[in-house]
Amino acid sequence: MRIHREGFQIILITILIVVVAWLLVKNYVPYTMIRYGLLAGLLILLLWVVRFFRMPKRTINYGDHILSSADGKIVAIEEVDESEYFNGRRMMISVFMSPFDVHVNWYPFDGTVKYSKYHPGRFLIAHHPKSSELNECTSVVLEKSQDENVLIRQVAGVMARRIICYAQPNTQVKQGEEMGIIRFGSRVDFFLPTDVQVKVKMGQTVRAQKTVIAEF
C-alpha cells in the first residue's frame, strides 16, 4: 500500500497542525489526563488523514465486465433520465464512499474516453438522492463500443471539497487504471444502458478493481 500523491500536501499540513496544537496543549493545559486525551485525538486525526489517502495494491479482476470504480456501498439501482450526455433513459448504479473508504477511482473497463466535464455545485451529503444532480461533480463518458458505454460521475459530498479527475477526451484507457480521486466523503454514479445485467444489490459493499457491478 502507498499514499496517493494528492495527499502529500494535506498530510504535511496536518502534521504541522498536530505539532503546533500539541505544543499549545503541553504549555497551556495543566491537567495530565486532559493533555493525553487531546494528544490521542490529534494522533487519531493524523492517522485518519494518512489512511484516507491510501492506495491499496490489488490484483485487478480483468474481464469482459464492468467493475466498480470505487470502494463503498451500493445506495441506488434504478432507471433514470440522463440529460447531460445521452439524453435518455439509463440504468443508474450509485456507490457511496464513507470517509473511511478508499477514495481513489479507477476505470471500470477498457475503452475510449469520449467526454469529460467538471460541474460546480453544492455540497449536500453524498448519500442524498439529489446529490448527483445538485452537487459539484465531474462526468466522464467511457465507450467500449457504440452501444457499450457508461457515464461515470464523481460526486462531491458534504466533506468533499475537491474532485480530481485525470480523464482526457479521446484517450485510450485500461480496466483498473486510475481515473482520479475525491477528497473526503462522496459517491460515484454509473449511468449504463438499460439492458445491462446488474450484478449487485442494494446495500452491498463493493471494492474498486474487484467487484463486478454489471455486464453489457
Q: Are residues 46 and 71 in the same domain?
A: no
Same domain (yes/no): 130, 153: yes
**CA-derived radius of gyration, the chain:** 19
207 and 139, same structural domain? yes
> Residue 117: which residues within 8 A CB-CB, separation 6 or more?
84, 138, 139
CB-based contacts of 214, cutoff 8 Å, min separation 6: 65, 66, 91, 93, 190, 192, 196, 197, 198, 199, 200
**pTM (predicted TM-score):** 0.84
Q: Answer yes or no: is 139 within a domain.
A: yes
Residues 161, 193: one domain? yes
Mean pLDDT throughout 188-198? 96
Do residue 85 and residue 35 come from a single domain? no
User: Given its phi and psi angles, is residue 130 left (phi above 0), alpha (psi -120 to 50 degrees) or beta?
Assistant: alpha
Q: Say if 61 falls within a structural domain.
A: no
Contacts of 25 (CB under 8 A, 6+ apart): 35, 38, 39, 42
Q: Which residue has the higher pLDDT, 6 or 113?
A: 113
Q: Can you tell me the distance from the alpha carbon of 150 to that of 153, in angstroms, rounded to the nearest whole number?
A: 10
Overall number of domains in the chain: 2
Interval 109-155: pLDDT, tens: 999 999 999 988 665 555 555 555 667 889 999 999 888 999 999 99
Nearest residue to 112 (alpha-carbon basis) of 173, 191, 193: 173
User: Lowest-pLDDT range, 74-83, 116-125, 144-153, 194-203?
Assistant: 116-125
113 and 181 share one domain: yes
Residues found in the chain: 216
Tell me if 35 is assigned to some domain. Answer: yes
Identified catalytic residue from 68, 94, 132, 186: 186
Mean pLDDT of the chain: 89
Alpha carbon 209 to its chain's center: 13
Residues 44 and 128 placed together within one structural domain of the fold: no
137 shares a domain with 45? no
Q: Is 83 a catalytic residue?
A: no
Pair (126, 193) in one structural domain: yes
177, part of any domain: yes
Higher pLDDT, 44 or 183: 44
What CATH number corresponds to the domain at position 172? Answer: 2.70.70
Would you say residue 44 lies in a domain?
yes
Range of the domain at 187: 66-215
Q: Is 79 in contact with 94 (CB distance < 8 Å)?
A: no
Same domain (yes/no): 184, 79 = yes
Number of Cβ within a 10 Å radius of residue 159: 15
In a domain, 183, yes or no: yes
Q: Binning pLDDT at 50, 70 and 90, where does residue 26 land?
A: confident
Q: What is the pLDDT of residue 22?
A: 87
Q: Are residues 168 and 100 in the same domain?
A: yes
Is 60 contained in some domain? no
